[in-house]
Amino acid sequence: MTTRELTCIVCPIGCTLRVTILGDGNIKVEGAMCNRGVEYGKQEAIQPKRIVITVVKVRNGEFPTVSVKTSKPVPKECIWKVMKATADIEVEAPVEIGDVIMKDICGADLVATRRVRRIISQKD
């Protein structure tokens, strides 16, 4: 039997959870004020996941980078893969909110969360 104390991050209340993995493999969550907290506690005990938020370089844009996030939570052990992949890419402006910048990184897509307009240079 293993017990961990966690702070729930699903909503602003921040319940203190006591998550116990019982000998038979079942998971007991105490302290949650809602079912979402119970599910969060169970997920954290089995395989913690997070939405990853970062930036990607933009060519010919009004800003040098565009903010992006994973389309769904990815396992915590995949966060470094997402960060490494984003460090090596550059997209061409324009970029719209919701554009898929990269597909299937640890089971999630990387999606733009900001609009970046194209700058028309004297050369264009």
> Using one digit for the tens of pLDDT, what is the confidence trace for 82-103?
999 999 899 999 999 999 999 9
Per-residue pLDDT band at 38 (split at 50, 70, 90)? very high
Q: What is the CATH number of domain 2-46?
A: 2.20.25
Strands 108-112 and 100-105: antiparallel
Residue 68 burial class via C-beta count within 10 angstroms: exposed 0-12, middle 13-18, buried 19 and up: buried
Average pLDDT over residues 13-33: 94
Which CATH superfamily includes the segment(s) 53-112? CPE0013-like (3.10.530.10)
Cα–Cα nearest to 19, from 37, 7, 39, 5: 5
Sequence-separated (6 or more) residues with CB below 8 Å from residue 34: 10, 11
What pLDDT is stored for residue 120 in this prediction? 81
Strands 27-30 and 16-21: antiparallel
The residues spanned by each domain of the chain are 2-46, 53-112
Could you report the per-residue pLDDT of 26-35, keeping only the tens digit for each? 999 999 999 9
Per-residue pLDDT band at 1 (split at 50, 70, 90)? confident
